[in-house]
Amino acid sequence: MDWSSLWLAMGAASTSGINLYATVLTLGLLQRFHWLQLPEEWRLLGENWVLVLAGVLFLVEFVADKIPWVDSSWDAVHTFIRVPAGAALMASAFVNLDNASRLAAALLGGSLALTAHGAKATARLAVNASPEPFTNIGLS
């Protein structure tokens, strides 16, 4: 394990809590264009089908984020998607380590994703409660 893998995994876990599909798409494109050397276990992110799926889901999320209350519902459902994905991203970057270390990485990744996701979802609910419509679009 090197420090760059740790920081990359922590960043990916954190940003997956905000927008998982943008995180996967960005990492995949960085891998595809050789702008970033991802851990071996993440090479799958540069595959065509992963890029297409992440891109389509990113566009769906982009539209859903613009519609009040749909965005909060989307965030509620994605609580059960983003947090495990953050844990999986973090743990998969360290498959060469022992089980206890991978478990610790998964717990850290899930915690980072949950913290970021919780902040986003809380802000979204607060903005949706405001009477004017422009803040919601700006927050998206």
5-45, pLDDT tens digit by residue? 889 999 999 999 999 999 999 999 999 999 998 888 899 99
Q: Which tokens belong to 9?
A: 């995994």
Query: Which residue positions in the chain have pLDDT lower than 70?
Result: 1, 132-140
* Structural domain harbouring 122: 3-131
What confidence score (pLDDT) does residue 12 get? 96
Domain tally, the chain: 1
Instruction: Give Cα separations from 53 to 7, 20, 95 (angstroms).
Output: 25, 12, 25
Would you state the pLDDT for residue 105? 93
Q: Is residue 137 part of a domain?
A: no
Phi-psi domain of 69 (left: phi exceeds 0; alpha: psi -120 through 50; beta: other): left
Decide if 11 is inside a domain: yes
| pLDDT at site 138 | 67
Answer whether 0.85 is exceeded by the pTM. yes
